[in-house]
Amino acid sequence: MAKTTAIIVGTGGMARHHINAMAQIRGTEICGLVEVAEDQRQLTRALFAEHGKVCPPFYRTIKELLATQGTPDAAFINTPHKFHLENAADCLKAGIDVLVEKPMVIDAAEARKLIRLRERTERLLVVAFPGSLSPAVKKAKEMIAAGKLGRVTSVTAYVHQHWKAATVGKWRQDPEISGGGFLFDTGSHMVNTVVDLIGQDVVEVCALMDRCGTRVDINSTISGRCRDGTMLSLAAAGDSMHCTSEVTVMGDEGILQTGIWGERLRFKPVKKGDFADVSYPRSKGVWEQFLKVRAGKQANPCPPEVGLRFAKLMDMIRKSAETRTTVRSR
């Protein structure tokens, strides 16, 4: 795999998580970082030092970086959600392939703008949903398509995390910057993986949300129906004591289970046997999958159309919770 020069835009906690993974992948040269906060710069410098590497130079803006260094091959956008559209647009216009953290943008209108820009620039744009990029979810989709589960009748999923306490005073609880609360943040993995597995649009949604004294949703429950009648039941608890998740796909001939990040896969025939692990290729994370797409080794499993699909569904969920009514897609 040829060397890829990359910049990272935003070096907060998630970006440093990705840097750790990127350090294990040969052929990537992180040549520049965009970050305005000095505390995040210091933490990032320390991380590079832990890996025995010199930290790349920091810049305050993408424009400043490009004027100094020229155009890299790729960019990984890790800024707060509000800035995803602007940051991704700046990179695409500069001729840079982009991997953007989830959620891709704030709403469906922004998603459509980004898709139009992708089409105009003809650059690669991948959304960093680990589920969509997971070999486990890919394998699960193949099993469903091959009829291993028979007729899929329902999907249930949950995600619990100590999110509320961990994000007090941070941008994730500021709706003007985050675009939403726990469901839009960690919960987005659950929503996207469920819809990815089903492979069709959700046409009807009924949702309840509880802000638990904050400005954003903390706990949510969603019931839904897909175009073919498959039923959904999702629960997101952002004030839990620990982080755990499960997605269960029920068919009339088999049951499939995975996590919202696609980190495991189990299958059980309905009439006999117990759950057994299903083998699938291991992955070093979203950056590795992005590089495979860039190299033409696999099709893009998470293009901006996936980001639009998620944004449209979240718009329906928000409207249902706000109006306390069932919302149907147009």
**The CATH number of the domain where 108 resides is what?**
3.40.50.720
Residues 115/187, Cβ–Cβ less than 8 Å: no
Model pLDDT for residues 299-316, shown as the tens digit of each residue: 999 999 999 999 999 999
In a domain, 293, yes or no: no
121 and 169 co-located in one domain = no
Instruction: Quote the mean pLDDT of the chain.
Output: 96
183 and 315 co-located in one domain = yes
In a domain, 14, yes or no: yes
Q: Which of 129, 162, 185 is the last residue of a domain?
A: 129
**Residue 70 CB burial class (10 angstroms; 0-12, 13-18, ≥19):** exposed
Question: How many angstroms separate the CA atoms of 251 and 124, rounded?
Answer: 36
Kindly tell me if the per-residue pLDDT of 1 is higher than 60.
no
In a domain, 298, yes or no: no
How many CB atoms within 10 Å of residue 121? 18
- Mean pLDDT confidence for 3-27: 95
In a domain, 208, yes or no: yes
Percentage of residues in the chain with pLDDT exceeding 70? 100
Q: Which of 129, 164, 188 is the last residue of a domain?
A: 129
pLDDT for 241: 84
143 and 112 co-located in one domain = no
Model pLDDT for residues 234-262, shown as the tens digit of each residue: 999 999 988 999 999 999 999 999 999 99
Residues 209/239, Cβ–Cβ less than 8 Å: no
Question: How many angstroms separate the CA atoms of 294 and 302, rounded?
Answer: 13
pLDDT for 202: 96
- Mean pLDDT confidence for 8-25: 95
316 and 190 co-located in one domain = yes
- Mean pLDDT confidence for 76-103: 98
Domain count, the chain: 2
Model pLDDT for residues 145-175, shown as the tens digit of each residue: 999 999 999 999 999 999 999 999 999 999 9
Q: What is the DSSP string of 51-77?
A: TT-PPPPEESSHHHHHHHH---SEEEE
Half-sphere exposure of 52 (CA within 13 A, CB side): 1
214 and 94 co-located in one domain = no
For residue 78, give its domain range.
4-129
In a domain, 319, yes or no: yes
Model pLDDT for residues 255-298, shown as the tens digit of each residue: 999 999 999 999 999 988 899 999 999 999 999 999 999 999 99
Q: DSSP alpha helices (H): ranges in 122-255?
A: 130-133, 135-145, 163-166, 175-178, 187-198
In a domain, 291, yes or no: no
- Mean pLDDT confidence for 110-123: 98
Domain CATH number, residue 176: 3.30.360.10
Model confidence, pTM: 0.96
Model pLDDT for residues 180-229, shown as the tens digit of each residue: 999 999 999 999 999 999 998 999 999 999 999 999 999 999 999 999 99
In a domain, 272, yes or no: yes
Residues 184/102, Cβ–Cβ less than 8 Å: no
pLDDT for 317: 98
pLDDT for 242: 86
Question: How many angstroms separate the CA atoms of 6 and 177, rounded?
Answer: 25
In a domain, 299, yes or no: no
- Mean pLDDT confidence for 44-61: 97
- Mean pLDDT confidence for 76-90: 98
136 and 269 co-located in one domain = yes
Q: Which of 129, 159, 183 is the last residue of a domain?
A: 129
